[in-house]
A = this chain, B = another copy of it.
Amino acid sequence: MIYITRRERFSAAHRMFREEWTDEENYRVFGKCSNPNWHGHDYVLYVTIKGEVPRETGLFMNITRLKDIIKENIIDKADHKNLNLEVSFMKGKIATTENLAIAIWDELKPLIEKEGADLHCVRISETENNTIEYYG
């Protein structure tokens, strides 16, 4: 069993809040991340897949293929966008990094499996100090 991790990046705006709450209630739960005028991050995304290495090539999965899947389904949809307003796979979800990791997992899992590999982990660093991991 081999694990491959691909790193990608995207820059996006977001805001953490519940619509039915007042600004004060949102601030109490989400702190400065609830700022009504948005803020943003250079998100770093690590996608780890796992599987067997075929003897014939010694190549588990072409990293370019993995990169293309992530780019087409995640980066192109989220980069230079507003996670709350414009990103299809975040629709109806609170734009926390936790929910973002779960949503990216749900997007990628069937696509990775179609390639004959398993999705192992979605990791997102929101800043250099804060990182979220989701293993399904």
Contacts and interface: CB of A to CB of B under 8 A. Distances in A.
A118 to B, nearest CB: 14
B130 A3 contact: no
Contacts of A131: 4-5, 7
B98 A59 contact: yes
Given A31-B64, A58-B98, A127-B42, A81 B37 contact: yes
A32 interface: yes
Contacts of A62: 29-31
Interface residues of A, number: 62
B18 A57 contact: yes
A87 to B, nearest CB: 10
Nearest to A37: B82
A11 B29 contact: no
Contact of A134 (B2, B12, B35): B2
Interface string A1-45: 111111111011110101000000000011111010111111000
Nearest to A127: B42
A15 to B, nearest CB: 9
A90 B40 CA distance: 17
Given A13-B37, A40-B11, A94 B133 contact: no
